[in-house]
Amino acid sequence: MSTAETPVTQVEKKQKKKTVQWGDDPKIGFVEALYLPAIAGGIATALKHAFFKKRSTAQYPEQKPEMPPNYRGVHRLNRDEEGRVKCVACYMCQTACPANCIEIIAAPAPQDDPKWANRDKFPATFTIDELRCIYCGMCEEACPVDAIELTSIYDLTGMSRQEMIFDKEKLLSVFDETSKAGLDPVRTNRGALGPASEKSLQSADSPPPPGRGKHG
Amino acid sequence: MNWYEIWTELWPTLIAIGIILAVVPVVGLYATFVERKLAAAVQDRLGPNRVGPFGMFQAIADGIKIFLKEQIIPSHVHTFVYMLAPCISLMTAMFALVVLPYGPTPVNYDGGLRFVVMPGLDISLLIMFAISSLSAYGIILGGWASNNKYSLYGAIRSCAQFISYEIPMGLSVIGVILVAGSMNIETIVASQSSGDGISGWNLWWQPLALVIFFTSALAETNRLPFDLPECEQELVGGFHTEYGGIKFVLFFLAEYTHVVTVSFLTTLLFFGGWHFPGVPSEVTASYGILALQMLVLLVKVCGVVCFIMLLRWALPRFRFDQLMGLAWKGLIPLAMLNLVFLAVIESLEWHRWPLAVLSVVLFVAAGYWSAWQSQSFVRKASVA
């Protein structure tokens, strides 16, 4: 203050001190003021990375990343021991789906066929719009028989939107491929099955059904 | 003077011009490739490696892609100046190469093969600086014609930066001129020759001038840590925000040409040009020796270019007031003091070793002064 200081009370002084706070430049030492040591340090760091550190690039199409087994990718429809679709057309997943991407049309199981003797219903059509899906995994949470699951397939591509609407056959073929390749998701047959599930899973001494994951 | 004489004088010039026109764009393209590879190495990545062996043809692919792009001229620009600016930018950048010897050139050139467009020019260094200052025009006109506030900000910053850093650059080079006694680049290089090929370099007499020159030259090239005219975080793209396709390439090429020019100047003025231990210092007519000397020069230049690219990943960007403060409060006083002491020592015809000591003393003193100023600077907490 260049002008003569006007008499102010202690309280006013304190308040004034608090109202204006200056952010001072940080004080620098001699070595910092020289600039060059810091520049040399920066170059040393850059060179250390250039010559002594391992490159972290993954050469993608040749080098595929190993996805964690609980990754949520493309859906699959599981088959049971007899190769039938596990789904019992209960509409739980369709109801749970926040993106409305699942569409099921249920039909009564063919009663004259002995293969379907222990089933009431089965899905006549089961379509999932993979473009609309948000891969939240709520369908597999909702499923009482572990029929729908998300696999760790992440590189889903297609030439048209129509191509990306997966029907029942396609979803079953995803199951065939992934179970053959040993890529079953970690949630497969996690044991919390409802009463609609087949008997073999409920008895502990029976052999595991096809499609049972190594993580199961 | 008959036609034959004119022709014998003309053909080396035409060849030199042709070499510059042909080589500079390729060098510019490959400089981007090298820079990307270097950046990747510093950041623990691989860099471009898909096009050709080791990604060698990435530069060509980039060139083809960008030359085939649609030419868009925004509706709000001043069309003529907008088109003119990148041309000026590249033209001045290339024109500055006219006086730069890119191979061994004798002081008294008299016909025959040569590696400089204008040999034996007494004021070649002066011309060099005069022309490279003009490159500010390209940036300023481009920024103004874009009719975009960010472009204009970039252009204004660039203008201020150019004006500020011309001064320490010129002052530090005057020291070199005084020591060599000439403004001719070839003479300056010849003055750095010595028996062992390394002890004559200006680097040993004027390390401070080298630091000042290199810092200001970096600022002139608009590269990090002084790339304020085009810093993406603050100004979108700076002066070239509105430019795309081939017009952007011209700006880009101009920037890389500047980098090459600066590297050549640093090498020629401070690192002894084509002088190196084991390499004959005389410029002779022998092609083998000429090739060897040229190789030495080009390797040194590549080293400086790589150093500039490395600096980009080693240093953060300056704030604009820090940038101005560095030029006006740091480099200019230092360069002036250095110049005065150097002039005294040269006029007294002393030995040159005090110059090296002087540089170190000045540099340390500047550091002490800066630290002391920072420590003792207590801001008055004034409320009124």
**Average pLDDT across chain A, whole number:** 78
Q: Tell me the per-residue pLDDT of A103-145, one tens digit each, with 9 for 90 and over.
A: 999 988 887 888 887 788 889 999 999 999 999 888 888 888 8
* Nearest C-alpha neighbor of B287 from the set B54, B115, B44: B115
Partner-chain residue, chosen from A30, A43, A57, that has the shortest CB–CB distance to B310 = A43
Q: Tell me the per-residue pLDDT of A61-77, one tens digit each, with 9 for 90 and over.
A: 888 888 887 788 899 88
Structure tokens at A54: 């391992």
> Quick one: what percent of chain B has pLDDT higher than 90?
3
pLDDT band at A98; cut points 50, 70, 90: very high
Ranges of each domain in chain A: 75-202
pLDDT band at A10; cut points 50, 70, 90: low
Query: Looking at the predicted structure, is the pLDDT value of residue A197 above 70?
Result: no
**How far B198 CA lies from chain A's nearest CA (Å)?**
23
Q: What is the arithmetic mean of pLDDT over B305-333? A: 86
What residues of B are in the A interface, CB distance below 8 Å? 38, 40-46, 211, 310-311, 313-315, 363-364, 366-368, 370-371, 374-375, 377-384
Q: What is the arithmetic mean of pLDDT over B351-364? A: 82
Chain B residues in contact with A16 by the CB 8 A cut-off are: 383
A56/B374 touch (CB, cutoff 8 Å), yes or no? no
Q: Tell me the per-residue pLDDT of B45-100, one tens digit each, with 9 for 90 and over.
A: 888 888 888 888 888 888 888 889 888 888 888 889 988 988 888 888 888 888 88
Nearest CA in chain B to A38: B315
Alpha-carbon torsion angle B86, B147, B232, B314, nearest 10: 50
Tell me how far apart the alpha carbons of residues A133 and B52 are, in angstroms, rounded to a whole number: 39
Structure tokens at B233: 């975080």
Do A211 and A184 touch, CB atoms closer than 8 A? yes
Tell me how far apart the alpha carbons of residues B321 and A118 are, in angstroms, rounded to a whole number: 82
Q: What is the arithmetic mean of pLDDT over B120-148? A: 85
Chain A residues in contact with B314 by the CB 8 A cut-off are: 39, 42-43, 45-46
Ranges of each domain in chain B: 73-376
Partner-chain residue, chosen from A19, A27, A49, that has the shortest CB–CB distance to B44 = A49
ipTM of the complex model = 0.76
Chain A residues in contact with B380 by the CB 8 A cut-off are: 1
Do B190 and B107 touch, CB atoms closer than 8 A? yes
Lowest mean pLDDT among A8-12, A154-158, B146-150: A8-12
Nearest CA in chain B to A35: B367
Partner-chain residue, chosen from B38, B367, B384, that has the shortest CB–CB distance to A1 = B384
Is the pLDDT higher at A159 or at A35?
A: A159
Instruction: Classify A75-202 by CATH class.
Output: alpha beta
**How far A13 CA lies from chain B's nearest CA (Å)?**
10
B45/A57 touch (CB, cutoff 8 Å), yes or no? yes
